[in-house]
Chains A and B, each alone.
Chain A
Amino acid sequence: MLEIIPEAVKALIGKPLHHEDSEIVVESGYIYNTCAAVQNGNPLFWDEAVSNSISGGKIAPPTMLSTWFRPHHWRPGSEEECTPLQAHFDLKRWLQLPEAIISDNELRFGEPVRLGDRLHSYQVIRSISDIKQTKLGRGRFWVIDVVYENQDGEYVGTDSYTALGYVRNEG
């Protein structure tokens, strides 16, 4: 683990990173899978007449924002596992912290995500803490915002993660 945060890493705090378009278009299959996983019978996601009447057409559950940006586990030509939330994995590597967990998550929702949308996102490292000793190990907390827009440039939400990157305690 690095005892001092490199200046090159500090310089990236607050800068938009990793602009990307979602690999998948917003589609019904994942919406149904998500609702089924938590037995969510909200008719907005199941009943076309209700969704037409209330939200002007089928939409995705707001909390699915991050789902549209997780990469396929494998794709042709890839030589290693693709990782989501790239800034998080960048920080693990740059700060030499092999383990990490997400401790806090804040979501804010703008325009609804609609069937057929192809979303765009970028990531912003908001902060990196001093070294902390925790029950899991020694490491640092960091906050990363993922900002989402739709294909029309409308704001659809922000997913803000607080993570702990750490080296496990001995024993």
Chain B
Amino acid sequence: MGRQLLNSRPNDPRPPVLVVEDLWIRFNAEGRALQAVGGVSFAVEAGETLAIVGESGSGKSVTAHAIIGLVDIPPGEITKGDIRFLGQSLLADGGRLAREVRGREIGMVFQDALAALNPGFSVGYQLAELFRAHQGLGKRAALARAVELIDRVGIPNARQRAGDYPHQLSGGMRQRIAIAMAIALDPAVIIADEPTTALDVTVQAQIMELLAKLQAETGAALILITHDLGLVAAHADRLAVMYASRLVELGPARTVFQRPSHPYTIGLLESVPSRSRDALELPAIPGQPPDLANLPPGCAFQPRCAHSRDRARCLEERPALQRVDDQQQSACHFFEELADRRQRVLAGA
């Protein structure tokens, strides 16, 4: 299983569980080629929570779907790059390994739990099936494990609830069952794609607390895909910011919040209404995200950037992700000039 493979490299104390390397994904639709993911690289370590934030169309979900082999090909096309799970390529051989690890060593939680569950079987049966199919348990033993798991995700009267069908459960309960399915086979990585977006805030808090608890217990890496910066502030160790198919900033969540090193991150943080600072006008980012079928040759954020001032380099040369310091990376040609603006965000101006 995953953990053994991990331990087989004793020289490296914390090798990344998952590595995404220069990933390029394109969707061909109606004669147009949309660049969904454009050269994204990051690594995730065991036990850490990496949040990927971005707005609609930024490529955050497509990246996650590629990891678990859920990008439809065609119309999707992975044109370049690789994804490696414990050193092995998930894309090689037509994505054979991706299909193999999906749901086992890489668990998934989606926004809509109802879609992840089969409406025709009781939740206990669906969980038990996982143990029967993958661990060869008998009917009885598998069901016992399922009940155990239902209890573990904080559902009272687990034995009774095991007989419920998905439609009999509330949204929060269904998401708990979906989480149970994701962690059933003790995965090394859990991918949660907007896991709480469809839930009410008090239930949201319960679900996030549960995910954090299970992650601490299992030592799995958690990739949290979200548009909610508040959720990131409360739960992520590291943060990757995506804009128009590209990774624009990567670093420890705290650092990125306090000293953002990309104009888009700065704009994003400033435009969120905060409860502690009260300004009459929110500093909104002007304009719209670019057309993914027609990305500019230079920096994709340049047309909306307050800092670029139409400098030739921003217009012509696509900025690579470069080191800000040991932990933080930025895809801005002029990140060094941003020190003043960071201070402003800090001061809450």
Q: Do A and B originate from a single complex?
A: no
